[in-house]
Structure 1
């Protein structure tokens, strides 16, 4: 199995979650600008959208999109999903929220000229503020780390790197997450540590 990833992009969330789940995989780095795969080859031959992540199974099947890959990981490692009769659906709800309200705003923000980014930045901070209330017990679903935390961490970590003044408790959340062995390993493997 291969995880196609670009250092520092949201594929970092899938990398972390796969390490947390102890799923064996090969990491394949992608240069998103040139669409080249480390070691040779065009990434668009693997994933025509050119986006990461992409998970290539040994039988040649390809799974793309953070929500789908993270849900697949949680199905294989139930300890990385919320519990209860609605646990799977609460996870999909949270992954979808993170993807649509936070993640998808960053490309728009980064594509804007610096002098007109303020409104887009306020929207990003609004949704981080909205989700911050969920972290009062440590993670998105209480005291237990889930695959949704890997996704939120990557976005919060990236926002902090860009200088966003994230609301509390994100400072503590990012610091706590950075101490997780899987996070440290993923950051090191992607050349970000």
Structure 2
């Protein structure tokens, strides 16, 4: 398998999942600013949409959306329990979390990373994101990970997206449960390895 990623972008999440899975894969940097691969290839020739992540299987089949990629990775190694079994209620709860992170958090950060976005729009986005992160903090008061006592692919996604707060002026220092979660996930060996691989941890 090949994972196309941009350091620190949402592709960090499937990169973490692959490290946690133990599966063999090749990580290829596809910076979102240049869209040039290390060998000079134009990334648009591989993914016409131009964004990351992109997972390319050994048979050439592609998956482009993070939540789908995460579940695919988890299902390749059921013994690692990175996702509940398909068809169970818990699997739908995982999907609920993945959808929430994707639409309420991940998408919510978009205005803050968009050049030329008016300050008023950024203020609205920050207010909304802060309220959503406060809700997440309340949920994490109940369990160490979003699905309970065990790490799943949803945790890697939340860790990735919540980590963007420090880059856009959203202060989460008062959210103790979220802060503890970020430290807990960040200390995992697979997460540490991934951060180093993307040049995010010295």
Fold equivalence (TM over 0.5): yes
Q: 1:80 aligns with which of 79, 82, 85?
A: 82
**Partners of 2:181 and 2:167 in 1: CA distance:** 14
**Does structure 2 retain, via aligned residues, the 8 Å contact 1:81–1:88?**
yes
After superposing on structure 2, the runs of 4+ consecutive aligned residues of structure 1 that deviate more than 6 Å are: none
**Partners of 2:179 and 2:9 in 1: CA distance:** 20
**TM-score, scaled relative to structure 2:** 0.90
Give the superposition deviation at 1:168. 2.5
* Structure 2, unaligned runs of 5 or more: none
- Indicate the larger mover: 107-116 or 60-69: 107-116
Give the superposition deviation at 1:160. 2.9
Q: Is residue 2:133 matched to residue 1:128?
A: yes
- What residue in structure 2 maps to residue 164 of structure 1? 170
- What residue in structure 2 maps to residue 138 of structure 1? 144
**Does structure 2 retain, via aligned residues, the 8 Å contact 1:4–1:27?**
yes
Aligned residues: 193
- Indicate the larger mover: 123-132 or 5-14: 123-132
Q: Is residue 2:113 matched to residue 1:110?
A: yes
- Report Cα offsets for 1:48-96 as digits up to 9, x if no partner: 1111000011111111111110111121233111469212211111111
- Report Cα offsets for 1:133-165 as digits up to 9, x if no partner: 221211001110000000000011121343321
**TM-score, scaled relative to structure 1:** 0.94
**Does structure 1 retain, via aligned residues, the 8 Å contact 2:16–2:194?**
yes
Q: RMSD between aligned alpha carbons?
A: 1.6
* Structure 1, unaligned runs of 5 or more: none
